[in-house]
Structures are given as C-alpha cells and as structure tokens.
Amino acid sequence: MDAIVKNFPATGQTDSRPTREQAEEAVRVLLRWAGEDPQREGLLDTPKRVAAAYRELFSGYDLSAEEVLGRTFEEVSGYEDAVLVRDIPFYSHCEHHMLPISGRAHVAYLPNGRVLGLSKIARVVDIFGRRLQTQENLTAQIAAAIEETLKPRGVAVMVEAEHMCMAMRGVQKQGSTTLTTTFTGEYKGNAAEQARFLSLVRNR
C-alpha cells in the first residue's frame, strides 16, 4: 500500500527534470543506438517530436487523482447500489521496457451517500495510465485513489490489457491479454458482490 500512496497524488518532479535539450539529445543517442543517423533529413525534428510526445504520454505525473476526484455530489436520492463504468479505454507504458500497454478498465463502487462525476473515473484511469506502470499497480492505484477520496462502501476495479513487450518482442505472444482485479471494502472477501461485478462487466 505504501507504494500506492507514494505515487498518489502526483509524483511530478519538475525540479529534477532534465531540460528539453537534454531530452532531445537522449533521443538522438537512442536513434544512434537503433542504427540510425540522427542528422538524416527525415529525423532532424524527431527528437523534438519525441520529447513533446513524452510530455503527453506521461502527463499523468503532473496530475493529481486527489484533485480530480475532489468534487463529489451528495444529492443522490438515496441511491446506494453499485455504480459501474465499464470499457474505459486506456494506453499506458510498462515500466520494464517502456513499451505500450493498451486495454480497458472497468471500475465500480458502492456509494456511501456521495457519488462521483462519471467522467472523473475515466480521468483517474488516464492519470495513472499516463505513467510507467505494471498492470497490477495501475489496478491497485485506481482503486486506492477512489477509496481514499470518495470513501465509498467498496471499490472494484478490473483491468484487461495487452502488453506490447509481450507481443512485439521477447516471448512474442500477440493477442494474449492480462486480467487484473482489485476489490476493497464490501467487495473484498464477498464472493457474491464480486460475481455480480464480473457479470455486469461481462454481460452486454
């Protein structure tokens, strides 16, 4: 849990960040490492583009899930059954190879008098997705962020994803997906609630 909390809210270390020029130089080194000539015309602007793309792909370090989830609604007319947002698409990058992970997250919670704006759940998936991740940590961080800010009766998160480090290289198994789940509160140890979550996710 410590690792989860440490990564939350944000870990944007702007003080120790290299300059854009240093980042671009690092891209030139990797281009040479790949066997390319960074001075080739088609590659001249590539370091600049890659540095900019990195700011976008890893923008989750500059965002705080706590801030995004801070606004909750209390007027819910006594609604207390599960709220499920399923099929939230996301891209992330594995922390082992820095290669893409693409998948879908399904997030449910049991309200405790307060609910979240639905888009905020998808935003939280993006905040943690746009960091270097393992799928296990991504799943646990989404659950922990909702648990700690909304304090619902329980949270259920399922992530299904394909890892390019397993598809494009290494063991080269295209199309295999990894499934991870985290359950907190009333979902934890409650097989019936978990089964209901899984069937809501699965039944179209």
Site for Zn ion, residues 86 to 105, rule: CB under 5 A = 94, 96-97
DSSP 119-170: HHHHHHHHHHHTSEE-HHHHHHHHHHHHHHHH--SEEEEEEEEEEHHHHTST
3 state DSSP class of 48: helix
Q: Considering the complex, what minimum distance in angstroms separates the CB of residue 156 from Zn ion? A: 26
Catalytic residue flag (residue 95): yes
- 67, 118, 170, 202: which one binds ligand GTP (CB under 6 A): 170
The amino acid that residue 80 corresponds to is: E
Answer for the pair 134, 115: CB distance below 8 angstroms, yes or no. no
Find which of ligand GTP, Zn ion, none residue 184 binds, CB within 5 to 8 Å per kind: none
Closest CA to 157 of 183, 179, 136: 183
Q: Considering the complex, what minimum distance in angstroms separates the CB of residue 132 from Zn ion? A: 10
Catalytic position from the list 21, 67, 96, 136: 96
Q: Which helix (H) or strand (E) holds 110?
A: strand 100-110
Catalytic position from the list 80, 165, 186, 194: 165
Q: Which residue sits closest to ligand GTP, CB atoms considered? A: 170
Q: Considering the complex, what minimum distance in angstroms separates the CB of residue 176 from Zn ion? A: 13
Answer for the pair 152, 129: CB distance below 8 angstroms, yes or no. no
Asked if 94 interacts with ligand GTP (CB under 6 A), we say yes
First to last CA, the chain: 33
Q: Which is nearer to ligand GTP, 126 or 193 (CB)?
A: 126
Asked if 164 interacts with Zn ion (CB under 5 A), we say no
Catalytic position from the list 36, 97, 148, 162: 97
Report the chain's C-alpha Rg in angstroms.
19
Q: Which residue sits closest to Zn ion, CB atoms considered? A: 165
Cα dihedral: 83, 89, 91, 94 (round 10): 60
Find which of ligand GTP, Zn ion, none residue 191 binds, CB within 5 to 8 Å per kind: none
Q: Which stretch binds ligand GTP (CB under 6 A): 45-53, 59-67, 105-113, 162-170?
A: 162-170
Q: Catalog residues that contact Zn ion under the rule CB under 5 A.
A: 94, 96-97, 165
Question: Annotated catalytic sites, by residue?
Answer: 94-97, 135, 163, 165
